[in-house]
Structure 1
Amino acid sequence: MVALRGLVVFPYMVLHFDVGRDMSVAAVEECMVQGREIFLAAQKDVKVETPEKDDLFEIGTVAKVKQVLKLPGDMMRVLVEGVRRGKLIGYVKRDPYLETIVQVFDEKEGENQAQIVIKEVYMRRITELFEKYASLGARIPTETLYTVNEIEDAGKFADLIAANVAIKMDDKQRVLDCVNELDRLKAVMEILEKEIEIQEIDKELAFSVRQQIDKSQKEYFLREQMKAIQKELGDSDTDKDEIDEFKKKIAELELPEEVRAKAEKEVGRLSRMSPGSPETNVIHTYLDWIVSLPWGVKTEDNLDLKHARKILDQDHYGLTKVKDRIIEFLAVMKLKNDMKGPILCLAGPPGVGKTSIAKSIARAVGKKFVRMSLGGVRDEAEIRGHRRTYIGAIPGRIITSLKQAGSMNPVFLLDEIDKMSSDFRGDPASAMLEVLDPEINNTFRDHYLDMEFDLSSILFLTTANNAQAIPGPLYDRMEIINVDSYTDVEKLNIAKKHLISKQAAAHGLQPKAVKISDAVLMDIIHRYTAESGVRNLEREIAAIMRKAAAKMVEDEKADISVSKHNLREFLGLPKRGEATVMKRDTVGVVTGLAWTAVGGQTLPVEVSVIPGNGKLEITGQLGDVMKESAKTAISVVRAMGRKLKLKQDINETTDLHIHVPEGAIPKDGPSAGVTMVTAVASALTGRKVRHDIAMTGEITLTGRVLKIGGIKEKALAALRAGIHTIILPKDNQNDLDEMPESVMKQLTFCFVSKADDVLKLALME
């Protein structure tokens, strides 16, 4: 047996095909040597390399091998002649070919005179259809048409037609599956009628396309004649009013000389072009862009420092660093008019007001505001645009945004600059270097405009969640202003001064229609949100307003007051569970502190001691730096073995397993060093660790504790977890100068410089 891929062989059909599979080649060679017949069955899926019985169609063709030709690469070309239909019952695997059990059919069994007449009717109709099919352009040999008219056997007639019609393999298999001759004739007639309909539709489409081409050619000749006539009459072949309008706008705009010369040149080209030319639309669009850009248009800056401070304080609570930097910028601008705008990057966790403060800055200084999101931008053309040679080309988003602003000196916010990425289409971060460099952005060149454009008057602001993710050269061009997480007191004030009134207005309520006390707001902050910013807090306040709106619609006299007792009616069960810190002193479990792009978090470290031979197991999706910290911590503890009264053979008799939950979250960084030292020391000595203390700091091999970052974020994370004592590196002592007073009052900081100091504070005697 040979399994065929994409091919169906009919009885009485002579054709050749190539075989290459070992079993197929062996089967053909056996048939040639022994003079035996071969069974040919089509595969259901051509991708199957070694088909089983279920992978083949049941009905195939018993055939004779007439000729075999060897081909290069162990291939073989086989000429076969179909003999009769057969049904695959089963096969026996023989090495190296398959021998099949095939049931053959008597196709004329039980035939009567009435059926013979019906077959004759079908054959005549099919003959007509086949001739029509051939006349529509199908490549049917003349000999085949003669043969069709000569055949009297209905089954052979149907097989011959099916073999010579260009149809899908499934349709051919459908004909082969029809053992009954009458069923076979019906199937062939249906297939022919469908193919003729397809051919007729295809012919109509071709005729329609040809007509359209002829029409286009006719229009072209008419336009050329019109052009010649207009030339003789002295008329322009382009809309004169439109060209005059372009000339007028170019004359009125304060264009640089390079831009003016290029624009006038393009207008001249447009005036000489035929309206039907594809280039006409390209030039027209290009000129539209040039005259619609705000050349020389600048808003007058409001340099009143008191006014600016008032606007910034009205819109945002806190953010002192950002506000002070903007006031400084305005002060310098007042003294030096030609100062180049700074490139400020507001870096901080989500929801702390980075994007909204940019809008307030624009309002404070009286500038237009535009925002461009860079999250997920991978194509350099998004920044610099496409060259005019591309179909549908437009300028990049920098130029497009300036057109939208209608000003050359807006506040331009580049949002999520740390989320840009690069691929085969280019590196947008590199394209941003030209935009954000004050020394060269006065000659920014967009690919579409292909001329210099001055960006030096723009006040660029960027935002990022993680400043470390910004490419180095781009980071170097920006002034980073860290926007820290809000304290609970700051969140309370933001809710009272901004969020409640904003959400009340958004839900059609009066600002004082819903009474929410400070205690309730603090309860929402502690039990319904766990964030660095105030986005979730605003969502919870919005949920309260929705419930209040529903109650007031049902009862106009309803007095809505939210208290601790009815808070669940508005917000449901608290969304925050208990903090993931130990509630009692435990051996081998220490609460560390970590910084993430979305704020600070507690980072429990667990160590288990198991009898063994000194192996170390580290789990919890830790990065390379954190794994190295773990190994360093173990070495530090072993070096302190005598002080800690560890057994001398403890290295050879125990295994250590360090785990940092949650296991599904990747973690990395050096600041968990002291936490790991404490956890390992506790596990090996059996001394419990204080549950009410958290720590952070990098450890060295000699036991020194090094300075780390993110102190404020980590302190707030400890407070959220209910911890009020924090161990910090001594070198971080100066960082507390910027810590809010409300946080300092709630926390006790212990400063250490050596691992010994950490263990004295954290381990119980």
Structure 2
Amino acid sequence: MKTQSEYTVPLLPLRGILVYPSMVLHLDVGRDYSVQALEKAMMNSSEIFMTTQKDVSIEEPKQEDLYQVGTLTKVNQMMKLQNGTIRVLVEGMRRAKIVKFQDTGTYYSVFIETFDKNFEPDAETEALMRTMLDLFSQYINQSKKISNETFATVSDMEDGGKAADIIASHLPLRLPQKQEILETIDVKQRMRKLIELIKNEQEILSLERAISKQVKKSMERTQKEYYLREQMKAIQKELGDKEGKTAEVHELREKILNANMPEHVANMAFKELDRYEKISATSSESGVIRNYLDWLISLPWSNATVDDLDIAKAEKILNEDHYGLEKVKERVLEYLAVQQITQSMKGPILCLAGPPGVGKTSLARSIAKSLGRKFVRVSLGGVKDESEIRGHRRTYVGAMPGRMIQGMKKAGTINPVFLLDEIDKMSSDFRGDPSSALLEVLDPEQNHSFSDHYIEEPYDLSKVMFIATANDLSTIPGPLRDRMEIISISGYTEMEKIEIAKNHLLPKQIKENGLNRNQLRVNADALQLIVRRYTREAGVRSLERKLAAICRKTAKMIVSGKRKRVTVTAKNLEDFLGKPIFHYGQAEMEDQIGVATGLAYTAAGGDTLQIEVSLSPGKGKLMLTGKLGDVMKESAQTAFSFVRSKAEELGLPDDFHEKYDIHIHVPEGAVPKDGPSAGITIATALISALTKHAVHKEVGMTGEITLRGRVLPIGGLKEKSLGAHRAGLKKIIIPKENEKDLDDIPESVRGELAFYPVTHMDEVIKIAIVGEEQ
């Protein structure tokens, strides 16, 4: 390559085409800048530089919008047309590159560097030339779109670079590929690139031919099948034969008539059936329509079970299947009573909220049994896709209805008990929010016309009794929670667990392990010990597993011949279950100074919490230990501030907080503790330690404290009271505002505990501190 010359010429940007050297081309020019450039060229030497735009949509290109390598051309002829455009005949002369770009205001001018052709034939060039011409000849024979005259012209050329340019101009290459050839100055390299491009085009032509043959063959087969199918229809019509698709369509029509669909749904079904009858059986659309019709036919549109409205019978079934859970049972019986009076009522939407293992799912099954309804369970745990609820549109491959419609098909009636299990475990992602899709399902004002994307027609869910279960209400979105009636199942008391084990779990495990009642007996004291020392839960799953372990060991003893019958007592329980796993809080043996007994709520029920305070000479530092949460730390700070404000009344020196370091500790430091109910307990322990007055050993307390000493209400009083009773406490101090919750506490516990409702810390001191009683 060598530079021939450098000079300034007008620029004509091209859109969608390019000009090679030695190439003659007609162009229509209409842009003002281009027209001015042409006129300027004609005024001088008729030379103009042409290069291609990178983006054809740009009306006024700048330098960065143009390829920098183009062709210096000569305008041989120019003619104005009636529409205002100019038609020119140009001839490519040499490759050139933009060195400097200038906008004169009326046209573009460029300072260019041109390149010599510089063709020097040798053996390698000759070999490349022959290969290129041979491949071009094969391509012409395959495509049939390029004349033999073109090949004759090219084959007579001695200049390989010029031949490559001519061939490139006739190939159906994309513009960037053509530009790449133009930008390749070296002749050998240009021919090599063109050889690769011709090979690629040959492969594409071969593929096009193969595809064309396949399409033609497929069309011929389809036409043949259509002809034979029409002949078959004619023969069947003549013979009165109902076999084949005709019989199938007739059968589907009968099923639609017998499905008791609403009129608008039946019309849609018949419309789809007509389409199905006309479409070829080999068409993919045929299978989609058939599947859709099957769903419409199999759904219950009017078939309903008759509710068993015998309240006494329903109550008996619920009591047999479940011990306790009075609020849920009462709500079901209320529904039955109203149903019996009105004979028509929308299905209630209940949400059973509580810890795992308290019997939420089995309770829903018992409700269905007591009502005499079908039971359907759908697990929503881990559901992320909105289509799981609303279904997929039929345009998708493998589309299906959502879980609601699938459940209704499974039930076969329009009024089942529908359990939405683990409704709090749903989540959302880019596929949508399933909890939002449930809003329509669980809204009594909307679910009479539930819309599933697959079924498309409105479906009535208003007669369904929806029951949802959840472990954590806080993870359920507010709008969804608002549509449900929340019934909290906080867990079973110790007495309830013993009764459940005795009447339900133990008989079940004895039966499942192949035993009978005579072979295994578990005493009440052993059951109580299992509940207290081997399980710690709100429900009864772990309890059932422990009973199953006892049954298995019993079966082994009987099979091995060691025993014929086994009785499990508190004394020999360790032989079956090993050493106790858990311990529970117990009341102090004597009155203690600086130690107060608080009541705590845990997921496994209530327990007691000893809060200890010790004083040591120091500078008033307050230490809190025992892995306390932020709320409990704030309760301790509040209690300390209250004690300082009451220093004079308590007989404490004003500067006591500057003489002592105060250490507040809650034992079992490995267990996290938090919650707004330990304020009065911490304050009592502080006052006891500072005044050297002991705290009554039989007193337990729960309540939050303010800086002024007011006692605020707490939650979980039932569980806390049961924990206090189990620990052997006799007196319980509770906030005055929690008096209303005393009705929830079992009578057996209420009769053995004395409750003291208080509104201020002064009342707590009088009850809890020895020597302060009045």
Q: Secondary structure at the match of 1:508?
A: coil
| Mapped partners of 1:350, 1:491: distance in 2 | 14
Aligned partner of 2:320 in structure 1 is: 314
Question: What do the CA deviations read for 1:182-216 (whole angstroms, capped 9, x no partner)?
Answer: xxxxxxxxxxxxxxxxxxxxxxxxx99x9999878
- Aligned mate of 2:274, from 243, 268, 276: 268
Q: Secondary structure at the match of 2:757?
A: strand
Question: What do the CA deviations read for 1:697-736 (whole angstroms, capped 9, x no partner)?
Answer: 1222321112222211111222344434321112222322
- Aligned mate of 1:438, from 441, 444, 448: 444
Shift of 1:318: 2.3
- Aligned mate of 1:482, from 482, 485, 488: 488
Aligned partner of 1:567 in structure 2 is: 573
Question: What do the CA deviations read for 1:727-755 (whole angstroms, capped 9, x no partner)?
Answer: 11122223222321111233232222111
Give the 3 Å change call, closer, same or farther, for CA 378–607 of structure 1 in structure 2: farther
| Mapped partners of 2:271, 2:650: distance in 1 | 86
Aligned partner of 2:423 in structure 1 is: 417
Q: Secondary structure at the match of 2:596?
A: strand
Question: What do the CA deviations read for 1:455-513 (whole angstroms, capped 9, x no partner)?
Answer: 11111122233445543333322223333433333223222222221111111112332
Q: Which protein is bigger by CA-based radius of gyration?
A: 2
For the 8 Å contact 2:627–2:672, the answer to whether it is kept is yes
Give the 3 Å change call, closer, same or farther, for CA 375–646 of structure 1 in structure 2: farther
Matched, 1:230 2:236: no
For the 8 Å contact 2:519–2:564, the answer to whether it is kept is no
| Mapped partners of 1:380, 1:678: distance in 2 | 54
- Aligned mate of 1:323, from 326, 329, 346: 329
Aligned partner of 1:699 in structure 2 is: 705
Give the 3 Å change call, closer, same or farther, for CA 648–424 of structure 1 in structure 2: farther
Question: What do the CA deviations read for 1:647-699 (whole angstroms, capped 9, x no partner)?
Answer: 32344555655555655555543222222323443455555444543221122
Aligned partner of 2:353 in structure 1 is: 347
- Aligned mate of 2:497, from 488, 491, 495: 491
Q: Secondary structure at the match of 2:700?
A: strand
Matched, 1:455 2:461: yes
In structure 2, runs of 5+ residues without a counterpart are 1-205, 237-242
Matched, 1:516 2:515: no
Moved more, 477-486 or 225-234: 225-234
Give the 3 Å change call, closer, same or farther, for CA 226–724 of structure 1 in structure 2: same
| Mapped partners of 1:245, 1:660: distance in 2 | 76
Amino acid across the alignment from 2:225: M
For the 8 Å contact 1:386–1:393, the answer to whether it is kept is yes
Give the 3 Å change call, closer, same or farther, for CA 471–457 of structure 1 in structure 2: same
Give the 3 Å change call, closer, same or farther, for CA 353–383 of structure 1 in structure 2: same
For the 8 Å contact 1:581–1:604, the answer to whether it is kept is no
TM-score (norm 1): 0.66
| Mapped partners of 1:563, 1:579: distance in 2 | 23
Shift of 1:335: 1.1
Amino acid across the alignment from 2:644: R
Moved more, 720-729 or 735-744: 720-729
| Mapped partners of 2:620, 2:218: distance in 1 | 89
For the 8 Å contact 1:340–1:438, the answer to whether it is kept is yes
Give the 3 Å change call, closer, same or farther, for CA 398–599 of structure 1 in structure 2: farther
Question: What do the CA deviations read for 1:271-327 (whole angstroms, capped 9, x no partner)?
Answer: 333334333333332222222212211111111122212212222222222222222
Shift of 1:224: 3.9
| Mapped partners of 2:591, 2:212: distance in 1 | 87
Matched, 1:632 2:638: yes
Give the 3 Å change call, closer, same or farther, for CA 663–214 of structure 1 in structure 2: farther
Q: Secondary structure at the match of 2:415?
A: coil
Amino acid across the alignment from 1:508: G
For the 8 Å contact 2:493–2:719, the answer to whether it is kept is no
**Aligned ranges 1:164-203 → 2 under 5 Å:** none
Give the 3 Å change call, closer, same or farther, for CA 367–589 of structure 1 in structure 2: same
Question: What do the CA deviations read for 1:549-591 (whole angstroms, capped 9, x no partner)?
Answer: 1122122971222233322222222222353876665555433
Aligned partner of 1:715 in structure 2 is: 721
| Mapped partners of 1:642, 1:221: distance in 2 | 108
For the 8 Å contact 1:238–1:273, the answer to whether it is kept is no
| Mapped partners of 1:518, 1:633: distance in 2 | 43
For the 8 Å contact 1:582–1:691, the answer to whether it is kept is yes
In structure 1, runs of 5+ residues without a counterpart are 1-206
Aligned partner of 1:590 in structure 2 is: 596
| Mapped partners of 1:576, 1:520: distance in 2 | 15
Matched, 1:736 2:742: yes
Aligned partner of 2:681 in structure 1 is: 675
For the 8 Å contact 1:384–1:446, the answer to whether it is kept is yes
Aligned-pair identity (%):
53
Give the 3 Å change call, closer, same or farther, for CA 443–761 of structure 1 in structure 2: same
Q: Secondary structure at the match of 1:481?
A: strand
Q: Secondary structure at the match of 1:728?
A: strand
Aligned partner of 2:551 in structure 1 is: 545
Aligned partner of 1:282 in structure 2 is: 288
| Mapped partners of 2:220, 2:667: distance in 1 | 78
- Aligned mate of 1:386, from 375, 381, 392: 392
Moved more, 605-614 or 239-248: 605-614
- Aligned mate of 2:759, from 727, 735, 753: 753
Give the 3 Å change call, closer, same or farther, for CA 574–557 of structure 1 in structure 2: closer
- Aligned mate of 1:370, from 338, 360, 376: 376
| Mapped partners of 2:287, 2:455: distance in 1 | 15
Q: Secondary structure at the match of 1:669?
A: coil
Amino acid across the alignment from 2:396: Y
Q: Secondary structure at the match of 1:475?
A: helix
| Mapped partners of 2:655, 2:601: distance in 1 | 38
| Mapped partners of 2:446, 2:269: distance in 1 | 24
Give the 3 Å change call, closer, same or farther, for CA 657–470 of structure 1 in structure 2: farther
Q: Over the residues paired in the alignment, what is the CA RMSD in angstroms? A: 3.3
| Mapped partners of 1:383, 1:592: distance in 2 | 46
| Mapped partners of 2:606, 2:641: distance in 1 | 28
For the 8 Å contact 2:375–2:417, the answer to whether it is kept is yes
Shift of 1:268: 2.6
Amino acid across the alignment from 1:595: Y
Question: What do the CA deviations read for 1:108-151 (whole angstroms, capped 9, x no partner)?
Answer: xxxxxxxxxxxxxxxxxxxxxxxxxxxxxxxxxxxxxxxxxxxx
Moved more, 699-708 or 460-469: 460-469
Amino acid across the alignment from 2:410: Q
| Mapped partners of 2:623, 2:408: distance in 1 | 57
Give the 3 Å change call, closer, same or farther, for CA 709–226 of structure 1 in structure 2: same
Give the 3 Å change call, closer, same or farther, for CA 741–612 of structure 1 in structure 2: same
Give the 3 Å change call, closer, same or farther, for CA 243–715 of structure 1 in structure 2: same
TM-score (norm 2): 0.66
- Aligned mate of 2:258, from 242, 252, 259: 252
Shift of 1:548: 1.4
Give the 3 Å change call, closer, same or farther, for CA 662–262 of structure 1 in structure 2: farther
Question: What do the CA deviations read for 1:379-432 (whole angstroms, capped 9, x no partner)?
Answer: 332222223333322222121112111211111122233333334433333222
| Mapped partners of 2:320, 2:608: distance in 1 | 34
Q: Secondary structure at the match of 1:637?
A: helix
Q: How many residues align?
A: 559
Give the 3 Å change call, closer, same or farther, for CA 229–611 of structure 1 in structure 2: farther
Give the 3 Å change call, closer, same or farther, for CA 241–654 of structure 1 in structure 2: farther
